[in-house]
A and B are shown apart, each in its own frame.
Chain A
């Protein structure tokens, strides 16, 4: 198989960025409102499922791009196509926006009529040939903070995801009273197509000091939608863990006596603890990736330890009350 003149060669990679945040509203949204919130287009229904948890997905929104792809070596390959973005709401509480595109290794030498790209949603084709390792390194290594004003702008998936979040969060349906403080997390991911027979897929998860998470995946038989769903799920669990750690930190658990710490942790019990369900939405392809991540860094192990700590505190505080009664 070759890249082909029309750029319809096999996908060489798929990459994306997920932004995860708490839905800015006091109570978690019930199903009907979740559906209303994510109705970004009037012609397509919001998809939702209730098992194993309430999960709603907006229709995909496309954005046209014609710009350079990032590259570690500084070689700028121009690429044209559409970036696909969607918003996802889990249990009416955690909102995520993902922007992604996939790309073949080579494409047509010049930009074709726009209709050619419109019928390939979520595909960005290079003009000429690109080097996948170079783009991967450039994409995962790029930092959003200090843009170089003189360099040609490279594709900005973060901006697309952020704009989508703003569009969803700007709706009057939300009362903007969050039950606790939390921060947005960013996960940038890049999945390369591995040759068949290379064994199970592999993933490399990194948390950088500035808060950016990066994930590099290598998988045979790349299914862009499956990989994207896996990355959303990973981002969700990483956000849950990060948020719970911060909450425990702020509650000064272990150093404060009395009920203060327990009161500070109450939102975790009300809003977060039931959300932990790694692998619930992961398709068969990327499922083995969870095993690796559970071994190292061991997400669930850490989560359970934290949850147990909270439950122990709650139980301890309950004892004197009962004695006084």
Chain B
């Protein structure tokens, strides 16, 4: 071998790493109906969330033995499926109610930012990385099911009359891959394509949101969705959601947005959505370099990070009155 090597920069990509907290705590997820119910609803929600958020911090220090836990909090506003109010109207109220309950919102994200933000489409990045868990017998000859926009955790019931000339097709039960004796089969709609283009489903955007919080998405090696500082010096909040960056940092001294793990405190009605999120997270093949960077950094800090990405998301579900 000679010592000569020839390398062209464009043929050899690099992956950037992100600063990481230990935990990203989601304090809430605001939909139009919550907003319509008035500030009382927000106050109620924050009151319920507060003990859980505190517990997460305590548990981090206790169980993981982290001396100086880095915990950041975030709040998600749904401006993707329905547009309501405006940042100018909503933000002061939201921040005041959180403060009254003893909570600080470090970061605020717009759900539309999970679909498209700063010329990047996080949802389509994730879509491109979906690798279905193959049911037994998959030999590569079937087209990817992601072409139809549905993702499941096993094998579907065969379509009636699917095979020509086979006579009446007997119904067969769907099967969960790797089920413990009995199946919990789930089929998740990831998007639909209409005349106005593609609409991502709520569970899929929620999965993208988890991946963003886990700092695992990159586009051409560059981080996706960087937080834009938004302090009092910037004046009033804008009148249009589009004028607010998709991710803003409201607290100048906040720990990094992305974290080794996420913790979300949500009403029980989100349970099916988060089950779907888990299913999606289990079938996304993330960039090796990013996973390795995170694992190495956690290792240096002596912090345990589960290898499976789906296991990095934890929840507390509370009952609504």
Contacts and interface: CB of A to CB of B under 8 A. Distances in A.
Interface of A: 40-45, 47-51, 57, 62-68, 78, 80, 82-83, 99, 111, 113-115, 118-119, 121, 152-157, 159-160, 163, 284
Interface stretch (B62-70, B139-147, B249-257, B269-277): B139-147
A284 B13 CA distance: 21
Contact of B125 (A43, A78, A113): A43
Contact of B128 (A43, A67, A83): A43
A156 B138 CA distance: 9
A40 B128 CA distance: 8
Given A65-B134, A65-B138, A119-B288, A42 B124 contact: yes
Nearest to A101: B140
A30 to B, nearest CB: 15
Given A114-B133, A118-B131, A63 B11 contact: no
B140 A155 contact: yes
Interface string B131-164: 1111111111101100000000000000000000
Contacts of B10: 45, 47-49
Interface in B293-314: 307-310
B134 A80 contact: yes
B307 A119 contact: yes
A46 B136 CA distance: 33
Given A63-B140, A64-B134, A67-B140, 4 more contacts: A41-B129, A67-B137, A67-B139, A83-B140
Interface stretch (B46-54, B183-191, B215-223, B237-245): B215-223
A49 B282 CA distance: 35
A153 B144 CA distance: 17
Q: Is the interface of B mostly helix, strand, loop or mixed?
A: loop
A284 B137 CA distance: 38
B131 A63 contact: yes
B1 interface: yes
B58 to A, nearest CB: 29
Contacts of B310: 115
Contact of A66 (B138, B141, B143): B138
Given A42-B124, A82-B131, A154 B139 contact: yes
Nearest to A41: B128
A243 B285 CA distance: 38
Contacts of A153: 137, 139, 141
A94 B288 CA distance: 29
B171 interface: no
B178 interface: yes
Contacts, number: 114
A153 to B, nearest CB: 4
30 contacts: A42-B128, A42-B219, A43-B287, A44-B128, A44-B220, A44-B287, A47-B13, A48-B10, A48-B11, A51-B6, A57-B11, A63-B131, A63-B144, A65-B134, A65-B138, A66-B137, A67-B139, A67-B140, A78-B136, A82-B131, A82-B285, A83-B140, A99-B140, A118-B286, A119-B288, A121-B288, A153-B137, A155-B139, A155-B140, A159-B139
A49 B8 contact: yes
Interface residues of B, number: 43
Nearest to B308: A115
B141 A118 contact: no
Contacts of A82: 131, 285
Contacts of B132: 64
Contact of B285 (A62, A67, A284): A62
Nearest to A284: B1
Contacts of A114: 133, 177-178, 282-283
Contacts of B96: none
B141 A64 contact: no
B291 interface: yes
Contacts of B125: 41-43
B140 A157 contact: yes
Contacts of A156: 139-141
Interface in B165-205: 177-178
Contacts of A119: 285, 288, 291, 307
B8 A163 contact: no
Chain A CB within 10 A, most for which of B10, B13, B219, B288: B10
B54 to A, nearest CB: 31
Nearest to B291: A119
Given A42-B219, A49-B10, A65 B285 contact: no
A121 B140 contact: no
Contacts of A152: 137
A64 B13 contact: no
B78 interface: no
A121 B139 contact: no
Contacts of A44: 13, 128, 220, 287
A45 B308 CA distance: 26
B141 A159 contact: yes
A32 to B, nearest CB: 12
B12 interface: yes
A43 B217 contact: yes
B320 to A, nearest CB: 32
A50 B140 CA distance: 33
A66 B135 contact: yes
B140 A66 contact: no
A247 B288 CA distance: 44
Nearest to B310: A115
Contacts of A284: 1
Contacts of A63: 131, 134, 140, 144
A229 B129 CA distance: 23
Given A43-B217, A51-B8, A284-B1, A65 B129 contact: no
B178 A43 contact: no
A54 B18 CA distance: 34
Nearest to A44: B220
Nearest to A57: B11
A118 B8 contact: no
